[in-house]
Structure 1
Amino acid sequence: MPKLKTKRAAAKRFKVTGTGKLKRSKAYRRHILTKKTTKNKRNLRKATTVDASNVKTMKKVLPYL
């Protein structure tokens, strides 16, 4: 069996927590920030976990995490 290649774009965007869950940053924080509330922008700073429906795909894309 040959070695599997990691998708580098995904490797830059996702990290693994100590318990093995995938951590990601939230979207909607790049531009058009004037109409978003301060509270909304503050909550977008925090990282969150990848949804359970996407974990199988992400594990395939990131085989060595």
Structure 2
Amino acid sequence: MPKMKTHSGAKKRFKLTGSGKVMHRRAGKMHLNEHKSSKRTRHLTGDAVLPTGDAAKAKKLLGK
């Protein structure tokens, strides 16, 4: 049986931590930021941990 390929879209969007958590970029900061408050855009910076149900799907796509 051949090896399972990593999902190209998933490998660009998610990364695994050393403990196995799945990190993702927060949505809503790429464009149309002029009308968003500074506080809102500030809170959208940095990576966040993916919820457990979604993390299981992401790990499967990443081949882990």
TM-score over 0.5 for the pair:
yes
Q: How many equivalent pairs are there?
A: 64
Corresponding residue number in structure 2 for 1:54 = 54
Q: Percent identity?
A: 36
Aligned to 1:45, the other structure's residue is in SS state coil
Q: Aligned partners of 1:18 and 1:27: how far apart in 2?
A: 23
What's the C-alpha RMSD, in Å, of the aligned pairs?
Answer: 1.1
TM-score, structure 2 length as denominator? 0.89
Q: Aligned partners of 2:60 and 2:16: how far apart in 1?
A: 14
Moved over 3 A (4+): none
Greater strand content: 2
Amino acid at match of 2:26: K
Unpaired runs of 5+ in structure 2?
none
Corresponding residue number in structure 1 for 2:27 = 27
Amino acid at match of 1:41: T
Q: Aligned partners of 1:32 and 1:62: how far apart in 2?
A: 31
Q: Aligned partners of 2:16 and 2:40: how far apart in 1?
A: 25
Q: Aligned partners of 1:31 and 1:59: how far apart in 2?
A: 28
